[in-house]
Amino acid sequence: MRKILFAAIFILFIRASAYSQAAMSKVTVRAILVDKDLNQRPIPHLAISLTSGRNDPSSARELKTDFAGNAEFQALPGT
């Protein structure tokens, strides 16, 4: 009886971990230039390339800023 109970709990834990997903995080980037008088100017259409620390080329993302210098995207938590 204990073996069956242990096997059922073990299978339940395996299935629960297989369906768990990491929550996506919202990342916001704001690109500005600051002059000597500390005036801020947004940088429109700046191309930004983001990669993970694992050197995986399939995880690279490229995005561009809008006219206000802002860019947003969803990403998995990580490095």
List Cα–Cα distances, 72 to 8, 27, 28, 30, 35, in angstroms.
44, 6, 5, 9, 25
What pLDDT, on the 0 to 100 scale, is given for residue 10?
66
User: Is the pTM here over 0.75, yes or no?
Assistant: no
Cβ distance 78 to 53 under 8 Å? yes
Give domain status of residue 79, yes or no.
yes
Per-residue pLDDT tens for 1-24? 666 766 666 666 666 554 556 677
Q: What's the mean per-residue pLDDT of the chain? A: 78
Domain assignment present for residue 71? The answer is yes
SS (H, E, C) 19-56: HCCCCCEEEEEECEEECCCCCEEECCCCEEEECCCCCC
Measured CA to CA in angstroms, residue 22 lies from 15, 18, 26, 47, 78 at distances of 15, 11, 13, 27, 10
Residue 31 is part of which domain span? 22-79
Question: Does residue 39 belong to any structural domain of this protein?
Answer: yes
Q: Is 50 a member of any domain?
A: yes
Task: Please indicate, yes or no, if residue 8 is contained in any of the structural domains.
Answer: no
pLDDT in tens, 31-59: 999 999 999 999 999 998 887 766 666 66
Q: In the chain, what percentage of residues exceed pLDDT 70?
A: 61
Say if 40 falls within a structural domain.
Answer: yes
Q: What's the structural domain count of the chain? A: 1
